[in-house]
Amino acid sequence: MSESPHQSQANQDNLPRSSTKIRALNWLVVLGLLYTLYFAKTLLLTLIVTFLLALLLSPLVTLFRRAHVPRVISALVLVTLLFAPFSFLGVQLAQPVQKWAQLLPELSNVLDEQIDSINSAIQSGGKPVVKPPPKEQSNGFSFFGWFDDEPVEAQDPEQNMVTERIKQGGLEVLVNMLAAAPLMIAQLLTGLVLILFLLIFGPGLFHAYVLGLKNAHSEQQAIHLATTIQTELSRYIGTISLINAGLGACTAIALKILGVEDALLWGVLAALLNFIPYVGSVICFGILSLAGLTQYGIEALALLPPLTYLVLNLVESQVVTPTVLGHKMRLNPLIVMLWLIIWGWLWGAVGVLLAVPLLVCIKLIIGQLGIWPQWIAIIESEG
C-alpha cells in the first residue's frame, strides 16, 4: 500500500526533528559523562591508575604463567618489584623535600616584601613613601642580597591586604595537603589490592565472558582484539615510562656531576613532568632555574641546571622518542593541548599527568575496534 502525499510530507518533516533530538541526546550524554568524571574523580583516578599499571604488568604475568609459575606468586613479586623503587625514592627524597618546604616560606617572604612595595606605591599615587624606622628583626637567611640579615620594617595592616591574602592562601594549601594525606594513603592501598586482583583474577573473568559468546568466530575475534589492545597499550605504557625514567636518571646524574644540590629530586621531577608534553618541560625548566638561582645567586652558574636539563630534554624529544615510538603514536599538538586543559580542569595535576597516556589508550582502542576513523585522522594529523 503506497503512502499518500500527506504521509510522505509528514515523514520528511519528522526527519529534521529526529536528528535534532539525537544531537541533543548526544550532548546530554557528553555533559553527563563530564559531570561523572568530575565528581567521581576520587574513585576513577584509583581505577584508571591501577588499570594502567595492571596493563603494564599483565604480559609479564602471562609469561610467568607459561613457565608454570602461579599467578598469585608472579603478581606479588612483580608488584613488589614495581613499588620497591618508589619506596626507596620516597626515603631518599624525604630530606630534600623537607628542606625546600622550609625554604619556600622564606622565598615567599621576599615575594611579600615586593608586593608590599608595589601596593604602597599604588596607594600613594606614585609619590615617595616615607618608611617608618625599622624594627631590629633578622630573618637569618642570605640569598644574593635579597635575604641579607637586614632589619624588617614594621608593616601597616591597611597596606598589606594582598600580603595577608597570600599568606592565608599558603596556609589553606598546607591544611588541604594534611587533610588529603589519609585519603592518599587509602587510595594507595586500594590501588595495590586492585592491581593484584586484576592480575590474578582478571584473565578468568575475560575467559568467562568469551565462553558466553554465541559462536567460535566471535570468540576468536574477541580474544584477538583483547590481546592486541593489551599488547599495544602495555608496550606504549612501558616504553614511555622507560624513556621518562631514563631522562630523569640522566638529569639527576648530570646535575650530580656538575655539583648541583638535590640532584635526585630534580631528576624525579624531570621524569614525572615529562609525562606532560610541552608544558611539563617548561615547568621543569622554571623549577631548575629557581634551584640554580637559590644555589649560585645571580651568576652564570645559575643557568647550569636549566640548560643541562634543556639539552637532555631536546635529545629525548627530538631523537629518542621519535626513534623508539616512530609515527605510530603521533599526536596533533593542538589536540594534546586541548586534552591537557580538559583533564587538568577535571582532575587537576594528576589529570594532566594521565592525560596523554589516556589519549593514546583511547586512540589505540578505537583504532583496533575500527570505529570513528575520522577522529583518529584528526588526532594523528600533522601540524
Whether 69 and 156 map to the same domain: the answer is: yes
Asked if the structure places residue 129 within a domain, the reply is no
Whether 160 and 243 map to the same domain: the answer is: no
Q: Is pLDDT of 153 > 60? A: no
Asked if the structure places residue 5 within a domain, the reply is no
Whether 160 and 250 map to the same domain: the answer is: no
Asked if the structure places residue 144 within a domain, the reply is yes
135 and 119 in contact (C-beta within 8 Å)? Answer: no
Whether 158 and 221 map to the same domain: the answer is: no
Q: Is pLDDT of 3 > 70? A: no
Of 185, 212, 239, at which residue does a domain stop?
212
Whether 178 and 208 map to the same domain: the answer is: yes
pLDDT for residue 206: 79
Asked if the structure places residue 9 within a domain, the reply is no
Whether 299 and 351 map to the same domain: the answer is: no
Cell numbers representing residue 289 in the block: 632555574
Asked if the structure places residue 14 within a domain, the reply is no
d(CA 45, CA 183): 12
Whether 309 and 178 map to the same domain: the answer is: no
pLDDT tens by residue, 82-91: 888 878 887 7
Of 290, 308, 327, at which residue does a domain stop?
327
Closest CA to 271 of 306, 247, 307, 236: 247
Whether 291 and 370 map to the same domain: the answer is: no
Q: Is pLDDT of 134 > 60? A: no
Supply the range of the domain harboring residue 309. Answer: 217-327
Q: How many structural domains comprise the chain?
A: 3
Of 307, 327, 347, at which residue does a domain stop?
327
Structure letter (DSSP) for residue 190: H
| Strands, E assignment, the chain | none
pLDDT tens by residue, 269-291: 999 999 888 889 999 999 999 88
Whether 313 and 377 map to the same domain: the answer is: no
Whether 344 and 222 map to the same domain: the answer is: no
Whether 69 and 188 map to the same domain: the answer is: yes
Cell numbers representing residue 31 in the block: 555533559
